[in-house]
Each structure stands twice: as structure tokens, then as C-alpha cells.
Amino acid sequence: MIDSFGRSVTYLRLSVTDRCDLRCVYCMAEDMAFLPKADVLSLEELERLAGAFLRLGVRKLRLTGGEPLVRRGIMSLIERLGEHVAAGRLDELTLTTNGTQLAAHAAGLAAAGVRRINVSLDSLDPDMFRRITRAGDLAKVLEGIGAAKDAGLAVKINTVALKGVNEYEIDCLIAWCGERGFDLTLIETMPLGDIGGDRLEQYLPLDAVRRRLETHWTLEPLAFSSGGPARYVRVAETGRKLGFITPLTEHFCDGCNRVRVTCTGTLYPCLGQEDAVDLRGPLRQGESDAALEGAILGAIAHKSKGHDFLIDHDHQRPALARHMNTTGG
Ligand code: SAM
Ligand code: SF4
């Protein structure tokens, strides 16, 4: 799958649910209305869709959400997708999770062929964690992360940097990750969906964070690229990688290798644009694999050059109406 700008699409992020057991302040409004179950792809439909992308050249598949591990039956889907890894049709099967259900599932994930996971963790302080997630129990997440480590999964921590909230915990997170052998990626808030609050209040530009970190950590630039939006450095003091995802201060679209599919089967070639193609129709109308693949290829051909997110005093409304839990992070 090569788009009109010559970018090869080899990475699919597939959302398996819009539901979540947390309500992170930058991701959701407090009183979110979730989709009716009938709108959401069944596990069988998700598997067939993933199969079509694999035949078209996808080599890396990330499950996301909402919270992927709250989807009923998700482990059976993961086991079936893991068979593609075992057969060499897929280089990597992974997921992004909030970690609340990891203690129960870490061993199963490893057995299914998952090697690495991203866990979102915005604070190591139980009260702050509860404030950011509006409901979360930090102890449960830490237990889950411990279980993942014990199961042999490589863990990368994702932290959304929030002005005046976890801004001064970042040093603590760097040290904590270093002690445990985890890489860490810092993320700028993106203007997705109405969250019932002011985006400008949350937005913390990572270029300023990086300058501050450089006064007391040795950050060695790395050539390493995941083909994604993160720019990486190595923290000399811990030996671990530190990534910066800066959609607002630095465009990263030129090397984009990925597309996203929502849990309702809508393919978004770009996270930051409204262009979308419905794949649930072809899936449910009994169309052939060739027709499904044709719909995917048509969308890839129109993948846009880049996003145009902006947060400043003139742009405090969401750039896009859909929330991150709908598109999948
Ligand atoms: N529930 C899982 C989790 O939290 O890891 C997976 C889905 S979540 C939408 C995926 C990632 O998106 C998380 O790391 C989360 O912090 C991030 N995220 C959510 N809303 C965001 C926003 N508005 N801006 C930047 N990152 C966001
Ligand atoms: Fe749930 Fe993840 Fe969104 Fe937090 S970021 S509310 S854990 S989907």
C-alpha cells in the first residue's frame, strides 16, 4: 500500500472498542455516551478486517481503543491474531492499554505472541492519578505493569504532558522508568473531541519540557525512528529511550507509515483529518475480500499529506469533533 506521496503503509492501529474504565481528562468528557453495541465490529469482523490489511502489506498491528482489554472476548481475538505472528505474516502484534486489566492478561498476551506493550501512565502519585483519570486506582495499574514485566513483555510508558498537572513529575517518571528498564514517551495533548474543559489550560509544549530536562539529564539524540511521530533521545543516566511526540510544535507527517480503523470499521488514513472510508458496510453486506481490499486501497490512495492541529488562543475548540477513544490513540 503506497500512498500518493510515496509513503508505504505497513502499520495498522485498530480500535476494538470505544469503551473504557477510566475517563482521562484530556481524552474524554466525564459523561461520555458510548456507541450502541450493534455499531461496533464483532470480533469476527475485526479479525477479517485485520486479515485484509495483512494481505495488503501491513506488518505491524496495534490494538487500541477505548481500553482494548475491557472488550469482552478480546483475548480470543488476540490469540487468533497471534497466529499470524507465529506464521510470519505479521512482524509485530501489540497493544496500547491503560494497564488496569493487565494483571489478569499479561501472561496470556505473552503466550499469544505479544512481545511489547505501551502502557499509559500519567502520574505516580495515587491522588494525582485519580484526578487525571477521574476514577483510576494507581495500585491496580502498577500491579498490571509488574505482571507485564514478569511475563517478559517489554513495556513502554506513555505519558501525556499536562501543564500544571503532571508537569513536574516528568523527572520522577524518567527515573522510575529507568529503574525498571522501561522506555518512556511524552505526548502533547491533541485537540480531539470536546472534553468539557479548556485545551489551552492543559497544553504543555514539549520543546520547553525538553529544554528544562536538558538542564539536569544528559539527553543523547538517537537516529532511531519507529516510523512514527516520536523523536527519541537516550537518557545517559538511565540508559533508556525517551520519546517526544510533538504533533503541535513539530510536524511529523512526512514519514508516516500508519493508518487507523475505528471500532465501527471507519478507516482514517490520517489521525488529524476528517477523510474517512467506511469498511463496515462492505464487511456486513457480505462483500468479497477483493471488494474489501479495494475499499482499503482507495482510501490509502487519498491519504492526506498531513494534519493541521493547532492550539492557541484563537483555536480552543477541538480541531476534530471525534474523541481519541473513538479513533484509537
Ligand atoms: N485506553 C488505552 C490507553 O489509555 O492507553 C488506549 C487508548 S488511548 C486513546 C491511547 C493513547 O492516547 C493514550 O496514551 C492516551 O494517553 C492518548 N491520548 C488520549 N487522548 C489524547 C489527546 N487528546 N491528546 C494526546 N494523547 C491522547
Ligand atoms: Fe480511557 Fe485511554 Fe482515553 Fe484514558 S486515554 S480515557 S484510559 S481510552
**Lowest-confidence range among 87-101, 228-242, 275-289, 300-314?**
300-314
In Å, how far from its chain's centre is CA 49?
19
Residue 24 alpha carbon to ligand 2 centre in Å: 5
147 ligand 1 Cβ < 6 A: no
For residue 201, the surrounding DSSP H or E stretch is: helix 199-202
- pLDDT confidence tier of residue 329, bands split at 50, 70 and 90: low
Of ligand 2's atoms, which has the minimum distance to the CA of residue 96? 2
Q: Which residues, other chains included, contact 93 with Cβ-Cβ below 8 Å and sequence gap of 6+?
A: 61, 63, 78, 81, 82, 84, 85, 112, 113, 114
- pLDDT confidence tier of residue 311, bands split at 50, 70 and 90: very low
For residue 226, the model assigns a pLDDT of: 60
65 ligand 2 Cβ < 6 A: yes
Per cent of the chain over pLDDT 70 is: 84
Per cent of the chain over pLDDT 90 is: 68
Q: pTM value?
A: 0.90
How confident is the model over 222-231, as a mean pLDDT?
Answer: 70
Residue 95 alpha carbon to ligand 1 centre in Å: 12
Cα gap 56→89, rounded to integer Å: 11
- Tell me the per-residue pLDDT of 75-105, one tens digit each, with 9 for 90 and over: 999 999 999 999 999 999 999 999 999 999 9
187 ligand 1 Cβ < 6 A: yes
Q: How far are the Cα atoms of 127, 163, 180 from residue 188, in angstroms, in the given order?
A: 22, 10, 24
For residue 195, the model assigns a pLDDT of: 58
Residue 26 alpha carbon to ligand 2 centre in Å: 9
Q: What number does CATH give the domain 11-327?
A: 3.20.20.70
- Evaluate whether 158 touches 131 at the Cβ level (below 8 Å): no
160 ligand 1 Cβ < 6 A: yes
- pLDDT confidence tier of residue 320, bands split at 50, 70 and 90: low
For residue 312, the model assigns a pLDDT of: 44
Q: Whose CA is nearest to atom 3 of ligand 2?
A: 27
How confident is the model over 237-254, as a mean pLDDT?
Answer: 80
Residue 120 alpha carbon to ligand 2 centre in Å: 8
Residue with cell string 468528557: 29
User: Which ligand is the nearest neighbour of the Cα of 204?
Assistant: 1
How confident is the model over 234-263, as a mean pLDDT?
Answer: 84
Residue 324 alpha carbon to ligand 2 centre in Å: 8
Given a cut of 90, whether residue 326 has pLDDT beyond it is no
Of ligand 2's atoms, which has the minimum distance to the CA of residue 28? 6
Q: What is the mean pLDDT of the chain?
A: 88
Sort strands 154-160 and 92-97 into parallel, antiparallel or unpaired. Answer: unpaired
- Tell me the per-residue pLDDT of 124-180, one tens digit each, with 9 for 90 and over: 999 999 999 998 999 999 999 999 999 999 999 999 999 999 999 999 999 999 999
Q: Whose CA is nearest to atom 8 of ligand 1?
A: 329
How confident is the model over 30-52, as a mean pLDDT?
Answer: 96
Residue 74 alpha carbon to ligand 2 centre in Å: 17
81 ligand 2 Cβ < 6 A: no
How confident is the model over 46-53, as a mean pLDDT?
Answer: 97
For residue 294, the surrounding DSSP H or E stretch is: helix 289-301
